[in-house]
Structures are given as structure tokens and as C-alpha cells.
A and B are shown apart, each in its own frame.
Chain A
Amino acid sequence: MEDLDRPHRIAWLALLAVALVVPFLVNFDLYLIHVGIIITFNVSLAASLWLIWTLGVISFAHAGFMGIGAYASALVLTKLGLSMWYGLWIGAFISGAIALAISIPLMRTRAVYFFMASWAVGEVIKRNFAYFKDFFGGWDGVFDIKPPVLDLGFLQIDFANRVAYYYLALFAVTATVWVIHRVNSSRTGMIYWSIHENELLAQHTGINVFRHKVICFTIACTLVGITGALYAHYQTYISPKTFDIWKSEFALVHLIVGGLTTVGGPVAGAISLTIVDELLRATGYFRTIFFGVVLIASVLLLPGGLETVPGRLRKLFQRTSGR
């Protein structure tokens, strides 16, 4: 069982502390808090995608499963009148259940075939939302997905308030990353990485590779289902296009820029690239071009991603101090 060493623990706690005081630092600026909430969604998406990556594959259906969580929670509200406190868990459950069913055939494919199959799954999920107009609202999507109100009797928190929602989203992303970290730093993570490293050998040491692949995929999709539900109730509007392949691809870019070997990678990648993306918003049509330049530059200049930065700095420091 690999526990975090001190520098890592301090870094994580510092990140959490900064995230906690961010609303005060930005003087409750609504736009900046909005960016903060988007960051939490992107971090959850990238981190749970990374959990699947620990098996050695990337699922392009991941945003689709986020969509399943979002639609489930939204429809539970608009059709049944149940608030997000129910929708969240129903969304997570349905996303996980569908992931379990789909991963049974999906996990029999490998490498490039898995990518193609997961791509198809993602596309099918999106098209289903669009096709079943009466139920899912077609390409127009679902409107008026109200954020919940937390009633503790003595205290009422209306999550229509953006600052309140920020803390809710922050709590969710912290829990998500914590779960992924726990899974990854335990025997379970060792199993996933051994499948990643050498599936044949993993099988012959007695690991039921197929079973663990299915469970891993299900856990990741359950987590992203929760993220989807939170997304739906924050934006109050969802459409099939929100959860298309491109969203999965952006999460993949977050992974690559952030780094692939630790959960810090997707977290760093999602935070920094979401900020870059927002900074580039002012450039209008050039936004995607600049985004592409940032991506290429980071891959060329920083192979291994942002997670290698601390190690590089340490090396640099040692070299200069040793001289």
C-alpha cells in the first residue's frame, strides 16, 4: 500500500486550501466562480477517465456516461419531480449499470479496437438522447433543471447561489479524486497497472483480468455519472451535443497535458487547460487555434506532462546547488 509522501500530501492539501478560499480571493466574482465550477467538472471527468487509463485504454464514451448521469438526474427532476439529492444517486446508479452492461462486450476488445468500440458507444449514447425525442427532448435537450435546495431545518442553502454550488462541486470533485486515489494507491491499483503493463502475465499470476477491467470501467463511469448530474443541475440545460465525443477528447487532452502516471496529472491538466481555454475566450474564433498551439507546445516542451514539473524543478535545483 503506497501512501503519499509528505511533499505530495502538502501539495494536495495546499491545492484544496486554495480551492476553498478561491471565492474570497476573487471577491465573489460570479464569472470567476463559474470558471471554478467548470474546473471541478473537468477535473472529475479527466480523473475518472484516467482511472480507466490505468488499465491501459482510453474510453471515448466517457463524456457519454457523464451524459447518462446528467440526463437521468435531469429527467428524475422534470418528470418525477425528485430533486437532485435523489437524481445524483439515480444518475450514478444508471450510469454505472449501463457501464457494467456495456463493458462486458467492450472489455473483450483491446487496444485500437477498444478505442473504436468506445467511440461507437459514445456516439450511440449521444444519438439515443437525440433520437428519442419525446423522452429525452431530442437535439433541443432538457430545460429548466433546477438546482436543489438543502434544508437542514435550522439552515437552508439554495444551490441556485453560485458560491454555494461551487462548494458543492468542490466537495464532489474532492470525493471523486479521493476515491480514485485510494483505488489507485492500493492493491486494486496494483492490479490495474499490472494489467496495463502486461496483461498476459497478469492473467497467469491468477488475476481475473476481465473481471477487474469490467469493475474498473464501472467505477469510473459511476463517478462520472455523479459529475454529469452536478453538471446538469448547474447549467440547468443539457443537450446531446454537450456530451459528444469532443468532450471525451478534451478530457483526453487534459490527461496528456497533465501527465498519465499519477492522478495528479489529470487534475493539473484539467485545471490549467480550463483556465487557458477561458483566457482564450476573448480571442473569439482564434480560440481553438490557440488552444491547439498550447497543446502542441506543451507536448513538445514538456513530454510527460505537468506532473513531471516538480521532478524537473528538483533536478534543476540540485544541479544549480551542486555547482
Chain B
Amino acid sequence: MYELEARNLQMKFGGVTAIAGLDLVVEEGEIRGLIGPNGAGKTTFFNACSGRYPITAGEIRYRGHTISGLKPHEIAAQGLVRTFQHVTLFKKFSVLKNVMAGNYLHAQHSYWGSLLRTRKTREAEAGSERRAREILDFIGLGHIAHQQAATLAHGHQKMLGIAIALAAEPRMLLLDEPCAGMNNDESREMIALVRRIRDTGITIMLIEHDMKVVMGLCDRITVLNFGNNIADGTPEEVRANPEVREAYLGSQAHVA
């Protein structure tokens, strides 16, 4: 059983084919890089996996269950959670409340509990807050838990995005350009963080444009071009693959 499995996946938007019959498998516990030129279909693949857009044909399976056709909240409930390329937060919430909101799936919410403030509800909320603080400490944002999310530096906002995803207690994370717009120091911090997340047993798939990051971080790399999987392998294999150089980087390019 694979962690994530796409079979003959197709995504079409009107006349535009974003993904054309993609086959892809991700093993449990790996850090998988997803690279390719702009428009190759990387983010579209994440959108398909997270249920944001309906797929045109094919199938996506997560831990043996078909998830294509499910709604985003149903997929998140199965343990497959994504982050977004652009900073996506509850901006007016505090950092802590952002993570608590992300903890929805495990907060045992009920309407009667909210109204009557039963003991069970109060305990669940206290537990949710505890969990949120743990996650913030793990990420390294514990010291700014009460700051408003909108006021955070860009790097911290990206990290908070991951904290929200972790609060849903996923078994697999899809990270869409976690290092986008970061300076070198922030990037290094993010790379370390992704490794630490994997070490807690969460499988990771990430889209990234910075080759240094991808090559250094990922166990395996999948290369997309025009919605097709053109190469799949360890960083060394992908780097040596002439088709990748040709299609993705141009025949003259030198892969870092």
C-alpha cells in the first residue's frame, strides 16, 4: 500500500490540459520533491489531491482509499493536509488561535457543548489549546503566540501556515513552496523544520523551485512537465537524467 498514489490522473480546465495522465506513487515516511517548470501542473496536482478542484479522469488513492471526488474537509479528515503557496492564514486571529482553529478535527466540537459549556467541551478546548502550544513550540513560534497573525514577518507567516496544517494532525503533508519568498536564513530554518516534521512520522511531499533546497532535502524527486511525470528518482538520478535537463532546465543548463 502506498501513502499516496495517482493513477492516470487528468485535470482539464476548459480546453487547457493541466495534468495529462499522471502516474505517481509516494512511499510512507519519505520527503518527496515535486519539481518542474511553471505550468507543469505541480500546484494543480496538489489541488487535485486536496479536493479543491474536481479531477477530470483517473484516480487518486490515499493509504488505499480513493480520495478523488471527496471534499477538501473530508480529505483533511483522512489525514492528508496541504499548505498553500501564498500565505494563507486567519489573519485577524492571534497565532495561537490560528493553530487552535486548525485543530478543529480533534477539538470534538458540538453545538450543544458550545451553548452549555459542558465539562467535556471545556476539557476538549483546554486540550486543544495545549496541543496548539505544543505545535507552536515545535515550530518555534511559541514566543509570539499572542501576536496577531497579520503582523508577523513573512517567514513566520509561512511557518504558521505549516503549524495550522500540523494542528489537523496529518499523516501526510503537501507543502506548496514552503520556502517561497524567504531569505537564506529563513530557508535554512524551514528545511530543518521539514526534516523534523518527517522525523515525527509524517510523510511529506513538497513543491519547490530552489534547486539547492530540493536536492538537499528530498529523498526522492518527481519531475513534471506539461502535466506528465517525466522522471522519478533520487536527487542524483534526477540530476543526471538528460530528459530532465532537456525539458525542465533547457539543454544547456547545468543542474546545481
Most buried by B among A179, A186, A205: A205
Cα(A321)–Cα(B100), bound, Å:
38
A-contact 0/1 string along B112-132, CB 8 Å cutoff: 011101000110110010000
Q: Kindly provide the distance from the CB of B126 to the nearest chain A CB, expressed in whole angstroms.
A: 8
Q: Note all chain A residues with C-beta closer than 8 A to B235.
A: none
Q: Which residue of A lies closest to B97 (CB)?
A: A190
Which of B52, B122, B125, B168 contacts A206, CB < 8 Å? B168
A182 pairs with B115, CB closer than 8 A = yes
Cα(A182)–Cα(B97), bound, Å:
17
A201 pairs with B90, CB closer than 8 A = yes
Query: A1 at interface (Cβ–Cβ under 8 A)?
Result: yes
Query: B13 at interface (Cβ–Cβ under 8 A)?
Result: no
Query: A207 at interface (Cβ–Cβ under 8 A)?
Result: yes
Q: Note all chain B residues with C-beta closer than 8 A to A182.
A: 114-115, 117
Q: Note all chain A residues with C-beta closer than 8 A to B84.
A: 200-201
Give the contact stretch, choosing among A42-50, A191-199, A283-291, A292-300. Answer: A191-199
Q: Which residue of A lies closest to B93 (CB)?
A: A197
Query: B33 at interface (Cβ–Cβ under 8 A)?
Result: no
Query: A183 at interface (Cβ–Cβ under 8 A)?
Result: yes
Query: B43 at interface (Cβ–Cβ under 8 A)?
Result: no
Q: Note all chain A residues with C-beta closer than 8 A to B97.
A: 190
Cα(A224)–Cα(B233), bound, Å:
61
B88 pairs with A206, CB closer than 8 A = no
Q: Note all chain B residues with C-beta closer than 8 A to A208.
A: 71, 73
Q: Kindly provide the distance from the CB of B244 to the nearest chain A CB, expressed in whole angstroms.
A: 31
Q: Note all chain A residues with C-beta closer than 8 A to B93.
A: 193-194, 197
Give the contact stretch, choosing among B19-27, B103-111, B138-146, B196-204. Answer: B103-111
Query: A133 at interface (Cβ–Cβ under 8 A)?
Result: no
Query: A253 at interface (Cβ–Cβ under 8 A)?
Result: no
Q: Note all chain A residues with C-beta closer than 8 A to B223.
A: none
Q: Kindly provide the distance from the CB of A87 to the nearest chain B CB, expressed in whole angstroms.
A: 24
Q: Kindly provide the distance from the CB of A304 to the nearest chain B CB, expressed in whole angstroms.
A: 13
Query: A215 at interface (Cβ–Cβ under 8 A)?
Result: yes
Q: Note all chain A residues with C-beta closer than 8 A to B178.
A: none
Which of A186, A190, A200 contacts B101, CB < 8 Å? A190
B122 pairs with A1, CB closer than 8 A = yes
Q: Note all chain A residues with C-beta closer than 8 A to B76.
A: 203-206
Cα(A215)–Cα(B100), bound, Å:
21
| CB pairs A–B below 8 angstroms (13 shown) | A1-B121, A182-B114, A187-B107, A193-B93, A198-B88, A198-B90, A198-B91, A201-B89, A203-B73, A205-B164, A206-B77, A206-B81, A209-B73
Chain B residues within CB distance 8 Å of chain A: 50, 52, 71-73, 76-77, 81-82, 84, 88-93, 97, 100-102, 104-105, 107, 109, 111, 113-115, 117, 121-122, 124-125, 128, 164-165, 167-168
